[in-house]
Amino acid sequence: MALYGVAFVMLLAAGLLLGLAARDFLRETGLLWASIAISTSAVVLAILSLVLPRRP
């Protein structure tokens, strides 16, 4: 469940970065690439949290 929580926080951070990039009308693509990287990491962590066996 901890991985799922981390993935959710990363998804929120990615959304924030995407919003900042959109606000600046994509003058610089660095925030966009950071958002893509964090979003991808969040998806991987969410999948891992569902696939990995839980400890009793």
Q: Please provide the DSSP assignment of 14-33 as one string.
A: HHHHHHHHHHTTTSSSHHHH
Residue indicated by tokens 């660095």: 30
- pLDDT class for 14, splitting at 50, 70, 90? confident
Domain that holds residue 23: 2-51
Question: Residue range 21-25: average pLDDT?
Answer: 69
In this structure, is residue 8 part of a structural domain?
yes
* Distance of alpha carbon 32 from alpha carbon 20, whole angstroms: 9
Mean pLDDT of the chain: 75
In this structure, is residue 56 part of a structural domain?
no
At 49, is the secondary structure helix, strand, or coil?
helix
Q: How many domains does the chain have?
A: 1
In this structure, is residue 6 part of a structural domain?
yes
* Distance of alpha carbon 19 from alpha carbon 51, whole angstroms: 30
Task: Supply the pTM of this predicted model.
Answer: 0.59
- Is a pLDDT exceeding 60 seen at residue 1? no
In this structure, is residue 18 part of a structural domain?
yes
